[in-house]
Amino acid sequence: MVVCLKPINNLSPITRVHAATYQAASGAGAAAMAELEEQIKQVAAGDPVTVEKFQYQLALNLIPHVDVFTENGYTKEEMKMYHESRKIMHTDIEVSSTCVRVPVLRNHSEAIWVETEESLDLQQVRDALENAPGVTLKDDPANQVYPMPLGSASKDDIFVGRLRKDISNPKGITFWCVGDQIKKGAALNAVQIAEYMVEKGLV
Amino acid sequence: MVVCLKPINNLSPITRVHAATYQAASGAGAAAMAELEEQIKQVAAGDPVTVEKFQYQLALNLIPHVDVFTENGYTKEEMKMYHESRKIMHTDIEVSSTCVRVPVLRNHSEAIWVETEESLDLQQVRDALENAPGVTLKDDPANQVYPMPLGSASKDDIFVGRLRKDISNPKGITFWCVGDQIKKGAALNAVQIAEYMVEKGLV
């Protein structure tokens, strides 16, 4: 998420973010992915469904529960989105999210609303995202072009689409993004940080 | 969605809503549900997947495209949430939504953020929802109790859970809801309106 927020924040500081996530089984590990694949086969065969890695059956279902619950009613995953966004962006950005596990094997998706200090021109945001490193715009609704998790795995970039004004808020922008959290969230990030350190002569 | 907004609006007028939907195949009709079931079987068997009723494969995927796109970048379904909320609630409520088709057979789910004129106490909102006709609270995260689409079909009520303060906004509340849109969105509604008219002596 932060990869998409940074270029917008450079245009005008983001004060507030609302994010609904659609998180793939892969976020819970390889065994969890295998469980979803197994559940799909069991559902197809009309057999009883095995549930071990998730709280409930995930095939043909949605589970609004990723990681453990904390005292304020948010899960640890949701509070991580709050704290890590502030840490990475070095701002007082406020993030409220709802994290939901969905029956998808790979790639996390998110519906995001951002509020900025100044009202932004949509074309300006589009240009900023287009030129942002690590972001690929996939946004041509007339031709049914928007990011989807199926087929986006093992790509380095975060894909952004459905970019438009928040019609409920003159200072708001909303979009949909999809990214391979195994690469961008973990492995690829480590490689990119190492590359940056070498480039800057820090190691 | 409006069923859950009304009791909150009675406590303090809602000015703004952000909603991310997780819409089941059933919203596109019986043939679309059959297509998802067929796709599950094809995926399980490793066969090529048939795509006719949706824009892309829905099994193991998410499609951020429900109904046709309009000029402002929102779909007709998303603009319907804007206009119908205002019409049903008789207020100037502003709604920005992103509607997403998910690989679920029945029941639409939504992650919702509302902003009210006054800051509300969470317990007050909980009580209002608990006493609201047509709403059932299913909100005990410590015991993994929250609404999910699987197993909620053919119920009359809208199920609400994950109720908490919007940590990005002192005047905000956020929750997750699940409802059988075939019943609440269409057939049941017609019956309830007819009952109301009989009760009030309007027919």
Say how far apart CA B115 and CA B94 lie, in whole Å: 10
Write out residues 160-179 of B within 8 Å (CB-CB) of A.
161-169, 172, 174, 176
User: Measured between CB atoms, does A100 come within 8 Å of chain B?
Assistant: yes
pTM, two decimal places: 0.92
DSSP assignment of B12-75 equals: S-EEEEEEEEEB-GGGG-HHHHHHHHHHHHHHHHTPPPP-SSSSS--TT--B---S-B-TTS-B
- In the block, tokens 């940080």 appear at A193
Closest Cα in chain A to B151: A61
A65–B141 C-beta distance less than 8 A: yes
B18–A57 C-beta distance less than 8 A: no
User: Measured between CB atoms, does A68 come within 8 Å of chain B?
Assistant: no
B64–A144 C-beta distance less than 8 A: no
Say how far apart CA B1 and CA B108 lie, in whole Å: 10
Q: H/E element holding A45?
A: helix A30-45
**Which chain A residues touch B59 with a CB distance below 8 Å?**
40
pLDDT at B184: 60
> What's the pLDDT tens digit per position in B141-161?
999 999 999 987 667 899 999
B64–A147 C-beta distance less than 8 A: yes
> Which of B82, B104, B146 has the CB atom closest to A60's CB atom?
B104
Output the CA–CA distances (angstroms, integers) from residue B99 to A111, A175, B140, in the order listed. 9, 11, 27
Using alpha carbons, select from B108, B75, B115 the residue that is nearest to residue B94. B115
B22–A100 C-beta distance less than 8 A: yes
**In the predicted model, what is the mean pLDDT of chain B?**
92
> Which of A69, A96, A105 has the CB atom closest to B174's CB atom?
A96
pLDDT at B101: 98
**Which chain A residues touch B161 with a CB distance below 8 Å?**
64
User: Measured between CB atoms, does A86 come within 8 Å of chain B?
Assistant: no
User: Radius of gyration of chain A from Cα atoms?
Assistant: 18
User: Measured between CB atoms, does A20 come within 8 Å of chain B?
Assistant: yes
> What's the pLDDT tens digit per position in B26-73?
999 999 999 999 999 999 999 999 999 999 999 999 999 999 999 999
Question: Across-strand partners of B69?
Answer: B75
Q: What are the residues whose beta carbons fall under 8 Å from the beta carbon of B90, sequence distance 6 or more? A: none
Per-residue pLDDT of chain A (203 residues; tens, 9 = 90+): 889 999 999 999 999 999 999 999 999 999 999 999 999 999 999 999 999 999 999 999 999 999 999 999 999 999 999 999 999 999 999 999 999 999 999 999 999 999 999 999 999 999 999 999 999 999 999 999 999 999 876 678 999 999 999 999 999 999 999 998 766 655 556 666 666 666 776 65
**Which chain A residues touch B61 with a CB distance below 8 Å?**
104, 148-150
* pLDDT of residue B22 exceeding 90: yes
Tokens of B203: 């027919």
Closest Cα in chain A to B37: A44
> Which of B22, B60, B167 has the CB atom closest to A94's CB atom?
B167
B148–A16 C-beta distance less than 8 A: no
Contact B135, B129 (CB under 8 A): yes
> Which of A69, A103, A141 has the CB atom closest to B141's CB atom?
A69
Best to test chain B binding among A69, A96, A106, A176 (most B CBs inside 10 Å) = A96
Crossing angle of the two packed helices A2-11 and A122-130, in degrees rounded to 10: 130
**Which chain A residues touch B177 with a CB distance below 8 Å?**
none
A168–B73 C-beta distance less than 8 A: no
